[in-house]
């Protein structure tokens, strides 16, 4: 079922004479304008990779990949019922999270016909009890009824490989390794490896050597 978040983002991008849920061959396009096709993808980018790759053959495509910065959890006593409590989720997202998705999207990005918008959003998540469906984790036994857009803090746009650098600190050393990325961004070493992989495979960075077991990179 479509969430309010998905619908609200479609409405924001459907300006002028744009068509929503427009049929195109075997696909339905979230928003179609005279200039481009727009796909809103809150889920994994890998899920629309093949669709986007096929559309890029004849069309300009914009993928909108929202990243949740803040989430307000709203607990109800039942589906559509009375609100019992509200609290902010301790999890906080940021622009660096998009690298986790791009790892599985590099067969498509970058492409001359492709634009990726990454809005950093605040949302409400409406929940109700799941009635023991996950007995081993009763503290997480809930069903998400809906997600609603509260605010868009900022949007970064990715078109060329070099645009990935706008997501990273400007003070990375040259050359750098994944330990440098982790230290500069505060992410885990695994996430830093994902970032380095995306930079290398997209052409934004190139490997220039090794230091011990670590690969060294610099801007391409």
| C-alpha 180 chain-centroid distance | 24
pLDDT digits (tens, 9 = 90+) for 59-81: 999 999 999 999 999 999 999 99
On the question of pLDDT at 135 being above 70, the answer is no
State the pTM of this model: 0.92
pLDDT digits (tens, 9 = 90+) for 142-182: 899 999 999 999 999 999 999 999 999 999 999 999 999 99
Q: What SS3 class is residue 201? A: helix
| C-alpha 213 chain-centroid distance | 31
- The pLDDT score that the predictor gives to residue 132 is 59
Q: Enter the tokens of residue 128.
A: 């109700």
* Domain regions of the chain by residue span: 4-68+81-120+150-159, 169-220
- The pLDDT score that the predictor gives to residue 141 is 80
Pairing of strands 114-129, 142-158: antiparallel
- The pLDDT score that the predictor gives to residue 1 is 82
Judged on CB neighbours under 10 Å (0-12, 13-18, 19+), 80 is exposed
- What is the Cα–Cα distance from 151 to 114, expressed in whole angstroms? 25
pLDDT digits (tens, 9 = 90+) for 173-203: 999 999 999 999 999 999 999 999 999 999 9
- Per the CB < 8 A criterion, the answer to whether 204 and 195 are in contact is no
CATH no., domain 169-220: 1.10.10
Q: Enter the tokens of residue 190.
A: 């695994």
On the question of pLDDT at 134 being above 80, the answer is no
Question: Which DSSP symbol is given to 176?
Answer: B
């Amino acid at each position: 079922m479509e969430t309010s978040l998905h619908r609200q983002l479609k409405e924001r991008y459907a300006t002028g004479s744009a068509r929503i849920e427009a049929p195109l061959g075997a696909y339905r396009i979230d928003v179609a304008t005279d200039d481009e096709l727009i796909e809103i993808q809150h889920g994994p980018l890998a899920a629309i990779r093949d669709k986007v790759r096929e559309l890029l053959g004849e069309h300009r495509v914009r993928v909108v990949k929202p990243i949740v910065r803040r989430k307000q959890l709203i607990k109800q006593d039942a589906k559509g019922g009375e609100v019992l409590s509200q609290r902010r989720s301790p999890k906080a997202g940021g622009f660096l999270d998009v690298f986790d998705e791009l790892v599985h999207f590099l067969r498509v990005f970058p492409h001359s016909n492709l634009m990726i918008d990454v809005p950093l959003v605040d949302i409400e998540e409406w929940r109700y009890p799941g009635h023991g469906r996950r007995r081993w984790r009763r503290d997480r036994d809930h069903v998400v009824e809906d997600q609603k857009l509260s605010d868009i803090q900022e949007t970064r746009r990715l078109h060329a490989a070099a645009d990935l650098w706008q997501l990273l600190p400007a003070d990375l050393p040259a050359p750098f390794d994944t330990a440098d990325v982790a230290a500069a961004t505060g992410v885990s070493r695994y996430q830093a490896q994902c970032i380095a992989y995306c930079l290398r495979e997209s052409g934004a960075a190139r490997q220039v050597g090794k230091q011990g077991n670590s690969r060294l990179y610099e801007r391409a």
